[in-house]
């Protein structure tokens, strides 16, 4: 899947495409979990896989002060454990869980609307 439409501010990172195991941000192919939020690109987000997700991984996400978080769970949609989702609810942050391809597409739509969105993506 390729994404080509330019949305957001010039300094914002662009998710250019997705294929299983690889997320294309700007001109870079990233094969690890990543956080994308406008001008922020965190290639060192710790969960290596969906099974590794824990509430502690949300600290880096919450630090970005998002209005909504798009959690891309890989090739298919899978919902994280209840305690993971509860952290977001208690902080008043919206959480949308979807496969990573859908999260990549939705990220650009929300950025174009001027929303403070974080894409937390698992390849």
The confidence score (pLDDT) of residue 36 equals 98
Domain encompassing residue 78: 15-122
Domain for residue 97, yes or no? yes
The confidence score (pLDDT) of residue 11 equals 73
In this prediction, the residues of the chain whose per-residue pLDDT falls under 50 are: 2-7
The confidence score (pLDDT) of residue 89 equals 95
pTM: 0.90
Give the residue among 99, 111, 95 at the shortest CA–CA distance from 39. 111
Report the relative pairing of strands 117-122 and 68-73 from DSSP bridges: parallel
Domain for residue 45, yes or no? yes
In angstroms, rounded to a whole number, what is the distance separating the alpha carbons of residues 41 and 66? 14
Domain for residue 91, yes or no? yes
CATH code of the domain containing 76: 3.40.1230.10
Distances (CA, A) of 54 to 20, 45, 109, 113: 22, 12, 27, 30
Are the C-beta atoms of 37 and 118 separated by less than 8 Å?
Answer: yes
Domain tally for the chain? 1
The confidence score (pLDDT) of residue 12 equals 87
The confidence score (pLDDT) of residue 4 equals 45
């Amino acid at each position: 899947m390729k994404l080509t439409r330019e949305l957001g501010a010039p300094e914002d990172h662009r998710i250019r495409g997705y294929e299983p195991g690889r997320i294309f941000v700007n001109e870079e192919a990233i094969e690890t979990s990543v956080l994308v939020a406008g001008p922020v690109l965190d290639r060192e987000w710790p969960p290596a896989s969906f099974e590794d997700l824990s509430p502690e991984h949300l600290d880096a996400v919450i630090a970005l002060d998002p209005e909504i978080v798009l959690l891309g769970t890989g090739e298919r949609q899978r919902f994280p454990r209840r305690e993971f989702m509860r952290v977001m609810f208690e902080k008043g942050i919206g959480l949308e869980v979807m496969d990573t391809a859908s999260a990549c597409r939705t990220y650009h739509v929300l950025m174009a609307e001027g929303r403070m969105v974080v894409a937390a993506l698992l390849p």
